[in-house]
Amino acid sequence: MTIFLILAPYGVLALLSLLTSATVSLFCAALICLAVIALDIARGRTIKILTVGSVTVFTAIGCYLTFIDATLSINAVSFAVNAGLLSVALLSIAFRHPFTLQYAREMVDAETMQHPGFVPTNYLLTWTWTGAFLLMAVGNMAVLYVPGLPLWSGLLIAFAVRNSAIYFTKWYPEYRKARDRAPPGQRPALTITFRF
C-alpha cells in the first residue's frame, strides 16, 4: 500500500499527460499529493519530504505553464518534474535527512531503527533514487535535444530506471538484514537477480 501511495501522483501525472494537457496533469498530481498528505495526517504519520516537494514541483511547473509559457512540450515538462524531484532528493541528503528515512521509520520496528546500518541503508536508498531522478532527467533531455530520437525512448528509460530503483529499494534492506544477522563467515554474497 505504501509504495502505491508514494507512486500514485507520478502515475496519475504520466497517465493524464497522455490524455489531457500538461497543466491539468500537473495540478491533478498535486491534488493527489495533497490527498496523500491528508491521509498521513489522519493516520498520525509524518508529512513526507518527497510528497511536500512533489506538491511544490507540480504546482510550480503548473503555474509556469498557466501564467508564463503554455507551449512547453511534454518532454520539457517531464524534464522539469524529474529535475525538481532530483533537487528534493539532493536537499534531503544535504540537510542530513534522506527522504527514504521517513518511510522506513513507519515500516520497521524500534529494534531495527536502532541498528547501526539503518541510517546508512537509507542514505544508500536515497542516493539510488537521486540517481534514478537524474537518469530520468537525462532521458528527457536526450529526447528534447537529439534529433530523431523517438519519444518512446525517454519513456522506456524512465520505466526501466524507476522499476530498477523500486526493485533495489525492496531488495537491499532485506539483503542487509540477512547479512547483518549471519555470522561473519557465513554472510550472504551480494547477488542481484532481475525478474522480468
**Three-state DSSP class for residue 160:** helix
Answer yes or no: is 196 within a domain: no
Interatomic CA distance for residues 103 and 169, integer angstroms: 11
| Count of alpha carbons within 13 angstroms of residue 20, beta-carbon side | 11
Answer yes or no: is 53 within a domain: yes
Interatomic CA distance for residues 117 and 122, integer angstroms: 9
Percent of the chain beyond pLDDT 70? 92
Domain extent, residue 113, equals: 2-183
Answer yes or no: is 166 within a domain: yes
Answer yes or no: is 194 within a domain: no
Answer yes or no: is 93 within a domain: yes
How many structural domains does the chain have? 1
pLDDT interval class at 44 (50, 70, 90): very high
- pLDDT at 3 exceeding the cut of 80: no
Answer yes or no: is 128 within a domain: yes
Answer yes or no: is 119 within a domain: yes
Answer yes or no: is 195 within a domain: no
| Count of alpha carbons within 13 angstroms of residue 120, beta-carbon side | 5
144-170 pLDDT tens trace: 888 888 878 888 888 899 999 999 999
